[in-house]
Amino acid sequence: MERLYKPARVVELQNKYGFRFTKSLGQNFLIDGNIVRNIADLAQINKEDYVLEIGPGIGTLSEEIALRCKKLVSIEIDESLKELLKESLPYDNVKVIFKDIMKLDLKQLVEEEFQNKAIKIVANLPYYITTPIVSKLIESGIEIESMTFMIQKEVAKRFSAKPSTKDYGSLSVFIQFYSNVSYEFSVSKNSFIPKPNVDSAVVKLEMKEEIPEIDTEKFFKIVKAAFSKRRKTILNALSTYGFNLEKTSILKALNLSNIDPRRRGETLTIDEFAVLTINFPSLGGDKD
Ligand code: SAM
C-alpha cells in the first residue's frame, strides 16, 4: 500500500470518502516523506514510546509514528475523517479519539490510555490554535518527555527567541520558563496539501526538570508588563502598567535584583525575571 504522504494516496482517499478540507480547522496535510521521517527522527520515537498526537488529519504523520512506537493516541476534532482513518491507519497500536483537544481532560487521558507513563507528544498543529494547545499541554501537569511540533514559522521563532531580539516576548518567556526549545528546521509550503499561506517550521520542546520555585502568576504578570511597552525602560514600563505601586518600590526591586532600571524589558533573561519576581512588591492591588 502506498504511504500516506504520497499525493496520489491523499487524492485517492479524499475521493473514496468524499473528504473536503476545512480551512478553519487548519487542515494542511503533509505530503513530503522526508519531512514526515525527519519529524519522527527528531522526536526519537522508538518501540518503548507512548505517543500523543494532536490532529492526525488523514494519518500521514500518525502512520510514521505508529510504525516506530509502542502506542499512539491521536486526537482529531473532525469526525468526517472517521471512516477514512479506519482505512488509512490499520494498526493495532493506534487509537484515534474524536474530540476537541481543548475540551479533553489530559490527566484522565494519560491515566486511561498510557497508565500515567511519561509520553512524547508529536503534532503538525492546527495553526489557528497553536498557542492555546501548547499552553494547555504545558499547564496540564501530565508527564511529558518531549514535544515535537510543526508550527507556523513566525510562532516557532517567537517560541525559541533569545533576549534582545525582535521575536522575544512574553510567549518566548512562557515557553522557555517550562521547556528548553530548539528551532530545528523550516518547511516549505510545497510540503502540504492544500498549500498554506504561511511558512512552517519544526520545533522541539524538552520539559525542564526544575523550574524556579516562584509565584508563577506574579512572574507572568511582571513579564506581561515588561513587554507591554517595549520601547520604554523596564522601570517606566513597570511603573506605568497599572500595578498601583510607587515607582520607588519598583526601583528598589530592580536594584535588589541587580537589574539596571534603564534597560528595556526585552533584554531581561528568564532568570532575571525570576529574581525580580522574588524582590517585587506584592501585586494584590493591581488592575489585572
Ligand atoms: N497530522 C496531519 C498531517 O500532518 O498531515 C494533519 C495536520 S493539520 C495541520 C491539523 C489537524 O488538526 C487537522 O486534521 C484538523 O482537523 C485537526 N484539528 C484542528 N483543530 C483541532 C482541535 N481543536 N482538536 C483536535 N484536532 C484539531
Res. 274: pLDDT tops 90: yes
Q: Total domain count for the chain?
A: 2
117/223 same-domain check: no
Please identify, by atom number, the ligand 1 atom nearest to the C-alpha of residue 57: 14
* Segments forming the whole domain that contains residue 265: 216-279
Whether residue 96 is found in the same domain as residue 222? no
pLDDT-derived band of residue 181, with 50, 70 and 90 as boundaries? very high
Neighbours of 181 (CB within 10 A): 18
> Residue range 160-178: average pLDDT?
97
Same-domain pairing of 16 and 73: yes
Is residue 105 in some structural domain? Answer: yes
pTM of the model: 0.95
What is the Å distance from ligand 1's center to 147 Cα? Answer: 16
Lowest mean pLDDT among 80-94, 142-156, 230-244: 230-244
Q: Specify the pLDDT at position 204.
A: 98
Q: Of all atoms in ligand 1, which is nearest to the CA of residue 31?
A: 5
Q: Which residue's CA lies nearest to atom 20 of ligand 1?
A: 25
Mean pLDDT of 256-263: 98
Shortest-distance Cα residue to atom 8 of ligand 1:
27
Same domain, 153 and 270: no
Q: Kindly tell me if the per-residue pLDDT of 231 is higher than 50.
A: yes
Ligand 1 atom nearest the C-alpha of 5 is 5
- Tell me the pLDDT band of 243, cut-offs 50, 70 and 90: very high
CB count within 10 Å of CB 16 equals 11
| pLDDT-based confidence at residue 286 (cuts at 50, 70, 90) | very low
The number of the ligand 1 atom at minimal distance from the alpha carbon of 30 is 5
Q: In this structure, which residue's CA is closest to atom 1 in ligand 1?
A: 56
Query: Which residue puts its alpha carbon closest to atom 23 of ligand 1?
Result: 100
Sign of CA dihedral 200, 178, 113, 70: positive
- Enclosing H/E stretch for 122: strand 119-124
**CATH number where 184 lies:** 3.40.50.150
DSSP category for residue 264 = B
> In the prediction, which pLDDT does 287 show?
45
How far is 223 from 212, CA to CA, in rounded Å? 15
**C-alpha cell of 146?**
518531549
pLDDT at 265: 95
Distance between Cα 27 and ligand 1 center (Å): 6
Confidence check: pLDDT of 288 > 70: no
For the ranges 34-43, 157-166, 208-217, the lowest mean pLDDT is seen at 208-217
- Residue 246 sits in a domain of what CATH number? 1.10.8.100
Average pLDDT over residues 210-220: 95
Q: Using CA atoms, how far apart are residues 119 and 116, in angstroms rounded to an integer? A: 9
**Is there a domain that residue 284 lies in?**
no
